[in-house]
Amino acid sequence: MTEVWLAKELAEALGITERSARRRADKEQWPCRERPNGRGGGIKKEYLGAGLPKEVRGKAEAWELGRLLEDGRAVARGQGSGVRETPLTPALSREGRGMIRSTGETPVPLDASTPKTLPPWQERLALARADLLRLYLDQAGRAKGWGAVLPAKLAFIEAYNSGANGPYHRLYDVLGPVTYKTAERWAVRARRAGGDARPTNAGATDLLKALAPKHGDHLRGRRRIGGREGKLEDLMRMPQGKILLAWALSPNCYNKAQVISNARDAMRLRGLPDDESDATYKRFLDDFEARKNHIWIYSRKGKQAWNDQCAYHIERDYDLLEVGDCLVADGHTINFESVNPYTGKPKRLTLITFMDMKSNFPVGWEIMPTEDTRSIAAALWRAILTLGKLPLCIYIDNGKAFGAKYFTGNLEQSGLGGLFKRLGIETIFAWPYHGQSKTVERFHLTLKEFEKHAPTYTGGGIDEKPPYRSRGEKEHRRMWERLTRGAVPTLLQTHRGLAAWLDEKYNPRPQPRGHLKGKSPLEVFMAGRGPGIEPADLRFLMLSQTVRTIHRRGITHLGRDYYAPELYGRRHPVMIRYDLLDPDAIQVFEEDGTYLCEARVMTKVHPIARITGTAAHQAEFKTQIELKKHQEKEASVFCRMLSETLVQPETEAHFARLGLSADGQPAPQAGKPVPLPLTEAEKRQIEADAAAASRRMRVEEECLEELKARPDCRRYLALLAHQARGGELEPDDRQFAYYFRHGEEYAALKEWFEAQDLAMVCQAGADN
C-alpha cells in the first residue's frame, strides 16, 4: 500500500469532500508532512498511511485496489485481449478512469501499448480475484469498533461461499470456494505489488500478475528441444532438432509419426541420446510448423503451395475500375465431353473466356477443340461487340496461343504491330502458376454448376470423377448407358447450353460476397456498357498484317495460295491484311499503304477432270486454263508492241553505228570513224591498274602456297585420295573432313580442292 496520501485521495476513498477530509485530519491529528507546492507556491500536506485510523486506512486500501483494478482493465482493453468486464465492477470516479494514481498532482495516463503478459485464462481469474478482494477489503473497512474487522471478513467469506444462492454468485462461478486465509494471501500479494516506490504505467499489470494463478508458470515457455523462444536458430542448435527437421522438411512429406520414427533410427546410428517421448518430439514439430509455417509449407509442398497458403494476398480495389477498363482472358478445358467437329469423336473441348474485371460479366467466349489464335480472336471479337467499346487493357495468360505474334507482335523485331496494339489495347501478363491474379479462374469454378448437367460429365478431378468412369463399376456403367443412351453433345448444343446457363443463371444472379456487394454481374455491366461499335469497323481493325512477296501463283500465306488478276506480272513485296475468321480472302496493299486488290484462295484442279471429275471440277479446270491463255495473250501482245516501238528502232540505230545494215551486211560508208588517242592521264591509270593486278596475283599465289603447306590441308588431301580409291573413313576422320569443308582454309581454296577431288576420282578410275 502507498505510504503517503493526499487530502483529495482520502476524500475520494471516504466519500466526502476534500475540505471535510482536511477538517477531520486536523481534528483527529493525522500524522503528516509538509512539502512545497510545485505550482503556485504554498505548502502541501501529505498524510502518512501508517498513522491513519484503521477505518480510514481500510477504506483507503480498498479505494486504491479498485483504482488499480480499473487501470488493469484499461490495459486489457487497450491491448485487445477480449476479456469481458465483469458486471460486479463498481463505477469509479470521473477523474480516476484510465489513470494510475501518482503521488504528485498530475495523474499519469495509461499507455495503451503496454505489452500483454498474461494469457486470457489467467487474466480472467486475476480480474475476478481483484473484484473479490476489493469487496472483501471494502466490507472490512466499514467495520466499526475494536475487534470488528475479523468478524466482518469472516462474514463476507461465508456469504461468498454460499454459492449460487449468495449475493456473489457470479464471482463464485468463476473462482469457486475461497477461504479466509486465501483472501488474506491475495491481499498481501496486492499490497506487495503496490510496493513503496512511485507507481508507473505498469503498476496495474503488476497487480494482475500478482493475483494471477501461478500453477504451470515454471514450465511455461520452456522446451526440452529447441530453446525457449522457438526461433529457428534455437531449433537448429540441438542435434535432435536438426535430425527431426531434416526428416520433417523432406519433400517426400513424411507424416509426423514417420518423421519421429526415422529420426530415432538416425539418432541411434549416430550415438545421440534418444530419451524423449514421442509426445515431446511431436510438440517440437507442431511448434515449428506453427511458428515457421512458411518454411514448413515451402520445403514440403513447394512454391505453389506456399503461394496459395502462406504468401501475402494482395487485394484489389475494384471500385477504382469502370466497366470495360480491364478484361481478363483465360482458357479452360470443359469438364464434359462433346463431339469434336474435326474428328467426330468425343473430346473435352476448350472454352476461351473474356471477362470484365469490374462486373464479373463474361462478355465474350468461344468453344473450340484447342486453344489457338483463331478461337481467341473470335472470343475477343464477341467481347468487344458485347462491351460496346474497346477495352483499355486485357489481363492475359502466359500461354503460347495468347502470346502469339498475331496478338502481341513486336514492332522492333517484325516491323508490324500485334492485334492488341493495333486496337490500342494494353496487355498485362499474369504471373506463371498464379491463378489468384486472374479473376476468371473463379468463374471457371462456378462453371461446374453448368458442367454437371451434361450427360458426359467427367468431373473436375480424380476425386470428382463419376463412378461410371471407374474400372469395375459395371452397374453404374449400365445405368449411365440406360439414362443417356450414349448421347454426346455436339459443339452447337454445347454453345447453346452455355449461352442459356449464362443468360438465365449466372449473369442475373446477385453476388453477395466480393466487390459486387449484392449486385448481379448483369446489373453492374449494363450500368457501364459502351454505346456500341460497328462490326465492319471492328473487323477491319482486327485484320492482322504481314509482308509477303508476289510470285507466279500470287501470294502464299498460311500454306494457301491467294491470287487476283491485279497481281499478274508483279514480283515485289507487298503488305497483306488478313482475318483469321475469314481465311478465304486477303487484302493486298502496296508498301506505301496504297490499296492494290483483294486476293482469294486458288484451289487445286482435278488431275483428270474431263474423265472422272464432277461438273465443278471441270468448270474450275476450264476457268484456270482460260486465265492462263489470257495471260499468254496479254504477254505476247505487249511483247510485240514493245518490240515494234522500242526494240527494233534501237537495234537498227545500233547496227548503223557499227556500219552494218539491218541484215548484218556491211553498209556503204564514206569512211570509218578514227579512234581518239589516249591522254596522258588515261595511260598512267592503265599502267597503275596493271601493276596493282600483278601485285594482287603475287599475293594470292603466296597465300595459296602457304595454305597448301598446312598440316590440315595435307591431311584432307590424303583423306580425299583414300576415299577416291574406295576406302572408308574412320569416325574421327569423317568428323575432321566435315569441319574442314566448313572452315576458312577450304573456303579460300574451294575451287582448287574441288578440282583436286575430281582429278583423284578420275585417276582412280583409270587405274582400275
The yes-or-no verdict on residue 140 having pLDDT over 80 is yes
* Domain 232-309, CATH among 1.10.10, 3.30.43, 3.30.450, 1.10.287: 1.10.10
pLDDT band, residue 416 (cuts 50/70/90): very low
Segments making up each domain of the chain, as ranges: 4-211, 232-309, 318-454+489-528, 543-602, 613-661, 698-767
pLDDT tens across 506-550, in order? 999 999 888 888 999 999 999 989 888 877 667 666 666 678 888
pLDDT at 9: 85
Q: Which residues pair with 563 in a beta bridge?
A: 600
- Position 259 confidence tier, pLDDT thresholds 50, 70, 90: very high
CATH 1.10.645.10 fits 318-454+489-528, yes or no: no
Q: What is the pLDDT of residues 314-334, one digit of tens each?
A: 778 888 889 989 998 888 899
Burial (0-12, 13-18, 19+ Cβ within 10 Å), 242 = middle
Identify the residue with better confidence: 536 or 403.
536
Q: Of all helices (H) and strands (E), which one includes residue 546?
A: strand 544-549
- Residue 374 burial (CB count, 10 A): 17
CB 339, CB 491: distance < 8 Å = yes
pLDDT for the residue numbered 98: 32
Find cell 503496454 and name the residue.
114
421 in Cβ contact with 411 (< 8 Å):
yes
Average pLDDT over residues 579-607: 80
Query: Facing residues of 82 across strands?
Result: none
Q: State residue 91's pLDDT score.
A: 31
Query: What predicted TM-score, i.e. pTM, was given to this entire model?
Result: 0.50
What's the confidence (pLDDT) of residue 753? 78
Using the predicted structure, report yes or no on whether residue 240 has a pLDDT greater than 80: yes
Q: pLDDT class for 181, splitting at 50, 70, 90?
A: very high
- 620-632: average pLDDT: 82
Q: Give the pairing type, strands 560-563 and 555-557.
A: antiparallel
Instruction: Give the pLDDT mean for 633-639.
Output: 76
Stretch 208-227: mean pLDDT, rounded?
Answer: 68
| DSSP classification of residue 566 | G
139 contacts 145 by C-beta, under 8 angstroms = no
Distance linking the first and last C-alpha atoms of the chain: 129
Mean pLDDT of 295-305: 88
Crossing angle of the two packed helices 711-724 and 731-741, in degrees rounded to 10 = 120
- Per-residue cell: 61: 486500501
pLDDT tens for residues 729-755? 787 887 888 778 878 778 777 777 777
Please check the confidence at residue 434 and state whether its pLDDT lies above 80.
no
* Confidence category of residue 103, pLDDT binned at 50, 70, 90: very low
- Cell numbers at 540, concatenated: 477491319
DSSP sequence for 96-124: TTTEE--SSSSPEEP-TTPPP-S-HHHHH
What confidence tens digit (pLDDT) does each residue in 43-53 have? 788 888 778 88
Task: Fold for 543-602, please state it.
Answer: SH3 type barrels. (2.30.30)
Other beta carbons within 10 Å of 584: 9
Residues 90 and 269: their CA atoms lie apart, in Å, by 66
Is-same-fold flag (318-454+489-528; 543-602)?
no
